[in-house]
Structure 1
Amino acid sequence: MLNLAEYRQRPALLADWLPWAGLIAPGVVLNKDGSFQRTARFRGPDLDSATQGELIATSARLNNALRRLGSGWALFIEAERRPAADYPHSDFPEPLSWLVDEERRAAFEESGHHFESGYHLTLAYLPPEESRARAAKLLYENSPGDGVDWSGRLDAFMAETDRVFDLLDGVMPEIAWLDDAETLTHLHATVSTRRYRVGVPEVPFHIDALLADSALVGGLAPMLGDQHLRVVSVRGFPTSTWPGLLDDLNRLGFAYRWSTRFLCLDKAEAEKELGRLRRQWFAKRKNVVALLRETIFQQESPLVDTDASNKAADADAALQELGSDQVAFGYLTATVTVLDADPAAADEKLRMVERVIQGRGFVTIPETLNAVDAWLSSIPGNAYANVRQPIVSTLNLAHMMPLSAVWAGPEKNDHLGGPPMIVTRTDGATPFRLSLHIGDVGHTLVAGPTGMGKSVLLAKLVLQFRRYFGSRVFAFDMGRSMRATVLGLGGEHYDLGADGGIAFQPLARIDHEATAPGRPNGWKAACCMKA
């Protein structure tokens, strides 16, 4: 990243190209160029359960948060598709419950590999130059002494990122800042083929050398460690966008890193760039011959380049949206990186990614000569590599960034201290883990038409609930739907009211006065559970 040839004579290492220097605050990384960065993990709405109105409202609120950032700010939004955990192992007390779980395990493993996505948002900020900071001090009386107040800049960065976090907290179902260890683990996962938790060193600096544990080999077909590296970049964009535009990437059955980098622009800089584009397209409406003919004959030419006229009108509409503070603008770079030990398999994965992206109207290019530079642009904190020139609004960014997520459920049941109750599979090779507990509350309602399998689901929940040590089940059913399950588990099944045996009669004395002291007269409600 920096020119170190005058200080040492040796080949450049991967660590030399990484932007990170060290940790200077909880979860805050100081980069080599003097910028700060901070990372949060999040999970967006699930498109399969969200309505169109909810997605539009989410995109609007996300745009409201992102449009407040100006020049010097960079956003790195990453979706990492990674292998999911294996089917959990549990000790069942009965042969039937164990056999059912083993059949479910075999069906789960037979369906192939499973993957789930993790989402991270990195906010990076490069403070202004010292000359601009000194000029700003001249406008204030009793300003601090000479030099740059780096502590004040760090406090301002953390305060601004907290404001953005508060705005996103009402948009995302889940969002939280990463601590030091989680930050190092996330950064390590972006530049390595290995996956493990990274501890925080006693002196948390030179983290570029600490995290770079895989060699990078350049060329037309680069390699990271022993894995072949393939990168596809987005060159062209569709004429219109909508929320969750690239959600199909979340359903691919292999690992990848989908990175979206957005370099924010101030309002003045965006107006300057949009004005230049408007003048450029407006001048292309008529060629030189048509302009000379109009000048000589004093008659306007009827032939106009309609495409250039439409693009000039589009730039004018963008200026109007910018002037009314509806959106902000910036430079967008979107890349998808895949790794595989087999070069042919890596190329096939790249083609599948291109098929999904191009199916949404984008124009993509598989990187060859520019592959290393494109991969470096996907690393959080690197705002200099592979800068793409098309200017994009924050609303389009909210539509194209990896926002939506297929919810895979919690990895464990924290209340019962064990694995999820049921592990199955949903769309796109994504596992689904079902736990009935939210905190310490396990209330559940199952509703549906008659004959659609509600009783089968309840019986399956009973069988899988036996994976927890000391579990006990009491069930009231109708039509003996639980009888086979209960007897198979060695339990006792009572047929209430049959042949004059055991029966319930909760309203037997409803017409008599209460004789027990303190008990009120009147009706007493009874709740019956019907499976």
Structure 2
Amino acid sequence: MLNIKQYRDKSKGLPDLLNIAILLGSFQTNAGEAALALQKDGSFLAGVSFEGPDLESLGTRDIEALSGAWNNALSRIGTGWGVHVTAIREPSGGYIPGEDNRFPSAIPALVDAERRAQHGGEDHHFVSRYYMTLTWQTPEDAESGLGEAMIIRGTAASAETGESEALRDTFNKYQGAFETVIGILKSWYRIRALDADALLTHIHECLSGNNHKINAPRIPAYLDAVLGHHDFIGGLEPAMDGVPFRIVTAIGFPVMTFPEILESLHSMPFPMRYTVRFLPLDQVDATKLMGKIRDKWFGSRSSLKSMVAEKVSGEAQGNLSADDTVVNLAYDAKQAIHEANEGALRYGFFSLGVVLRSEHRKVLDERVKTIKDFFDNSGFNAYLETTNTVEAFLGSIPGHLWENVRRPLIHSLNFADFAPKTAIWAGEERCPSPLMKMSDGRKAPPLMMATTTGNTPMRVNLHVGDLGHSLVLGPTGAGKSTFLALLALQWMRYEGARMISFDKGMSMYAATMASHGQHYDILGEHTDLSFAPLQHIERPEDNRFACEWLEGCAVLQGMKITTEERSVIRDAVASLTRETGRSLTDLVQLTQDQRLKNAFRFYTLEGNAGKLLDAEKDGLDLSAKFITFELEHLLQGSEQAKLITVPTLLYLFHRIEQMLDGRPTMILLDEAWVMMDNPMFLAKIREWLKVLRKKNAVVVFATQSLMDMKDSPLLPVLQESCPTKIFLPNREATSQLLQPMYHSMGLNARQIELLAASTPKRDYYLFTPDGQRRIQLQMGPVTLAFTGVSDPREVKRIRELCNLHGHRWPIAWLQERLPYNAQDWISVAEELFRHFEEEPQ
């Protein structure tokens, strides 16, 4: 006879321990569409992910206000609710994958290889993600209505069709409270509601430690079995799927809390999950419970002996014999009742747990010790869960309110201090612009990697959405030129990327020549360059530009153009279209107005600008992938020099706009205020920036002239069009002269203090609407050999090496520049040259 008893074992498995049951559907919130789960105990569950502000960038008042926002949000819910706030620390995924790079030449690839080596391995860098879930234990009558609806309809649709008025009211109450809580926090955080897949993925990750997507089943039921398919071992040495884990909690608290007391916990240099849970109580429930606590301590204020003596003598002895500690505890309970009655705080039950996992027990033990030491040093009493491990673990899973309820009460402001509120911003894993795509359709990688505090990497992207225009601001000697050169070399990682730089001081010369680019030193002794702005006026767009450009030249000469003179210009350009010679000299001969002739003559060989602008054929070649215009000689001189500078730059910008075809293009404008200090630019710059944005071009404005920027009428346009700003260290940032200017750029007092305390040429402050962070670029000797070069003697030496070695001059340059311990990079450079099989462009 078959013994089937052994197959009817009723011991519980992991799915039996989980509370989640089914997905009811979703609802719209002010943070997107949120999935709604129904749990076995009749409770509703939904959640959000959030990204907090940078702790280092927050002043004392800011972080206090942040805790205040959490307190304000939690005071809107009470008995029956539960809040889980979770920070998950995980490996960052390493440096930018090599297969995502499309470097066209050896030196940009070499610079990136050095940066990859400095960045270190995948296990050295970590990032954090943050979640909050709200659980509400629905009233018993709502549970009955929901059960009836599920039996009759098989879904929760009856709640929407009016079959259960009570159920609809219950759901509306949950949705209203959910939106109220996240609405209060939304002013401080970027919040995204968890849809069905994201909610299940989050719960599964908290359960198993595995970060992979869980797709919601087509029939969204039996979710405990969907998520609980793991081998779970409890006891003193718990494990999940054979991987040991431990839970460290705090069972004692410091005398006082402050907002940043645990903020460093979720910045540890190893993977972990840190979860805090708060079970708030209504005012009546809280005061009732605290009243019992008050009475308990008040009744214990005197010993039995003193109470007998008091009874016999008939005299009060309590004040002399009472235990001061007990009296103080009774007073604390009385004070807590007063605070709860005021309604500004919400009292409730609190639990905290740090879940650590590792396949190596020695590593796990070391991490446990690190966390315990952190708690102990912060004034907590840390405890490694042993016999209570299973209950403590389940209590840290979103949606679980019954397990591991610690009875001592704390108020919502204490909980706000304990919760992970801030973040170390790590940037987007991929370039956020939809225009920046790779050939296989994937999003492009970030522009470059940097480092920051807490072993957290920084993925630097200039783009905010599809807008990448940026400002680089800082004083002389703070590292601006080096940063721009690195920016240019790293930009070349994108497929089809082009770089156009307007430089001042030859700081871009080494990077340009090392990338086999084209370097134009306008009006310099080493460049014989002249332009023919009217060469292609047979094309409609060039014809329109020529008329506007000539009108601008006349205005620069002091003319006020009338309608008749504008018509004369158009006629002259039309006549020139039929001629073979199209220089400015040819135009003057065809112009029928003497005042215009005199104005245009300044730009011919008869005038001061003829050498540059009166060519028969244009000498500008824009076919190279890296092009630099050195403007030192063009910009120097008297006010009369602007009569040449403005037309030249307008023509160059026109040519650049014509070459844009959707390929990623970066345009660097160093000392932009000097170039654009003219009303003619102000009229065009706003429209120009919009055009470049649509054509996948990024403009980076850089300046050291902070006071010139403050007074420039161009500033409002750039503040509107440049969401990304990079601030360089400035010891004078807190001065009365500069502090208002930094405030106008969006910085708070703490951020301005950071600029003043940062180290020049090492620290940079990245400021975007998505996040702010002080970063370091960690440039090694190879990178500095091509980005930190501007001395005239160095530039001269590079020219000599170019003449001696041709396109392989960087190898000879590295042999001269690199220290002994970095000479191995020379062989890497030689290998890269062979790989790219470079020839002069």
Q: TM-score, normalised by structure 2?
A: 0.58
Counterpart mapping for 1:315-330 below 5 A: 315-330=333-348
Q: 2:431 aligned with 1:413, yes or no?
A: yes
Deviation at residue 452 of structure 1 after TM alignment: 2.4
Q: Tell me if structure 2 keeps the 8 A contact 1:236–1:363.
A: yes
Q: Tell me if structure 2 keeps the 8 A contact 1:507–1:524.
A: no
Q: Could you report, residue by residue, the CA deviation over 1:43-77 in whole angstroms, capped at 9, with x for unpaired residues?
A: 12210111111111121122111111011111111
Equivalent residue for 1:19? 19
Cα distance change on mapping 1:458 and 1:146 into 2, 3 Å? closer
Equivalent residue for 1:123? 134
CA distance in 2, matches of 1:178, 1:192: 19
Instruction: Give the number of equivalent residue pairs.
Output: 514
Q: 2:474 aligned with 1:451, yes or no?
A: no
Q: Could you report, residue by residue, the CA deviation over 1:286-305 in whole angstroms, capped at 9, with x for unpaired residues?
A: 22222333343425342432
Deviation at residue 331 of structure 1 after TM alignment: 0.1
Gaps of 5+ in 2: 27-34, 146-161, 438-443, 532-551, 570-598, 600-642, 644-677, 683-700, 705-841
Q: Tell me if structure 2 keeps the 8 A contact 1:193–1:227.
A: no
Q: 2:45 aligned with 1:37, yes or no?
A: yes
Cα distance change on mapping 1:385 and 1:64 into 2, 3 Å? same
Equivalent residue for 2:192? 176
1:80 aligns with one of 74, 78, 88 = 88
Q: Could you report, residue by residue, the CA deviation over 1:470-493 in whole angstroms, capped at 9, with x for unpaired residues?
A: 222222222211111111111122
CA distance in 1, matches of 2:387, 2:310: 47
Q: Tell me if structure 1 keeps the 8 A contact 2:104–2:492.
A: yes
CA distance in 1, matches of 2:213, 2:122: 29
Deviation at residue 524 of structure 1 after TM alignment: 3.3
Equivalent residue for 1:49? 57
CA distance in 2, matches of 1:111, 1:453: 29
1:241 aligns with one of 252, 257, 262 = 257
SS in 1 for 2:499: coil
SS in 2 for 1:200: coil
CA distance in 2, matches of 1:130, 1:454: 67
1 or 2 for the larger relative contact order (CA 8 Å, sep ≥6)? 1
Q: 2:566 aligned with 1:517, yes or no?
A: yes
Deviation at residue 507 of structure 1 after TM alignment: 8.9
Out of 309-318 and 479-488, give the one that drifted further: 309-318
Cα distance change on mapping 1:502 and 1:146 into 2, 3 Å? closer
CA distance in 1, matches of 2:128, 2:265: 10
Deviation at residue 189 of structure 1 after TM alignment: 0.9
Q: Tell me if structure 2 keeps the 8 A contact 1:245–1:399.
A: yes
Equivalent residue for 2:299? 283
Q: Could you report, residue by residue, the CA deviation over 1:217-256 in whole angstroms, capped at 9, with x for unpaired residues?
A: 1221111112101011110111111112211112211111
Q: TM-score, normalised by structure 1?
A: 0.90
CA distance in 2, matches of 1:492, 1:190: 54
Equivalent residue for 1:479? 505
CA distance in 1, matches of 2:237, 2:295: 41
Q: Could you report, residue by residue, the CA deviation over 1:460-509 in whole angstroms, capped at 9, with x for unpaired residues?
A: 111111111222222222221111111111112222343496699x9996
Equivalent residue for 2:385? 367
2:79 aligns with one of 71, 76, 79 = 71
CA distance in 2, matches of 1:151, 1:8: 40
Out of 44-53 and 294-303, give the one that drifted further: 294-303
1:160 aligns with one of 174, 177, 202 = 177
CA distance in 2, matches of 1:364, 1:201: 40
Cα distance change on mapping 1:193 and 1:53 into 2, 3 Å? closer
Q: Tell me if structure 1 keeps the 8 A contact 2:88–2:266.
A: no
Equivalent residue for 2:761? none
Q: Tell me if structure 2 keeps the 8 A contact 1:462–1:473.
A: yes
Q: Could you report, residue by residue, the CA deviation over 1:12-39 in whole angstroms, capped at 9, with x for unpaired residues?
A: 2111100010101121111011111001
Which has the larger share of helix?
2
Q: Tell me if structure 1 keeps the 8 A contact 2:356–2:367.
A: yes
Q: Tell me if structure 2 keeps the 8 A contact 1:42–1:176.
A: yes
SS in 2 for 1:446: strand
Q: Could you report, residue by residue, the CA deviation over 1:244-291 in whole angstroms, capped at 9, with x for unpaired residues?
A: 221111221111111111111111000011112222222333222223
Q: Tell me if structure 2 keeps the 8 A contact 1:192–1:224.
A: yes
Counterpart mapping for 1:92-491 below 5 A: 92-110=103-121, 112-130=123-141, 149-172=166-189, 174-297=190-313, 298-300=315-317, 301-415=319-433, 416-417=436-437, 418-491=444-517
Q: Counterpart of 1:437 in structure 2: which amino acid?
A: H
Gaps of 5+ in 1: 135-144
CA distance in 2, matches of 1:165, 1:439: 24
Out of 327-336 and 47-56, give the one that drifted further: 47-56
Q: CA RMSD in A?
A: 2.9
Q: Could you report, residue by residue, the CA deviation over 1:91-111 in whole angstroms, capped at 9, with x for unpaired residues?
A: 211111111111111111258
CA distance in 2, matches of 1:37, 1:93: 51
SS in 2 for 1:48: helix
CA distance in 2, matches of 1:296, 1:194: 69
Q: Counterpart of 1:246 in structure 2: which amino acid?
A: L
Cα distance change on mapping 1:129 and 1:526 into 2, 3 Å? closer
Q: Tell me if structure 2 keeps the 8 A contact 1:117–1:250.
A: yes
CA distance in 1, matches of 2:399, 2:702: 56
Deviation at residue 127 of structure 1 after TM alignment: 1.2
Cα distance change on mapping 1:329 and 1:190 into 2, 3 Å? same
Equivalent residue for 1:142? none
Deviation at residue 511 of structure 1 after TM alignment: 5.0
Cα distance change on mapping 1:15 and 1:133 into 2, 3 Å? closer
Q: Counterpart of 1:45 in structure 2: which amino acid?
A: P
SS in 1 for 2:38: strand
Q: Tell me if structure 2 keeps the 8 A contact 1:281–1:309.
A: yes
SS in 2 for 1:123: strand
Q: Tell me if structure 1 keeps the 8 A contact 2:266–2:274.
A: no
Q: Could you report, residue by residue, the CA deviation over 1:346-389 in whole angstroms, capped at 9, with x for unpaired residues?
A: 12111111111222111121011111111111111111111101
CA distance in 2, matches of 1:274, 1:436: 53
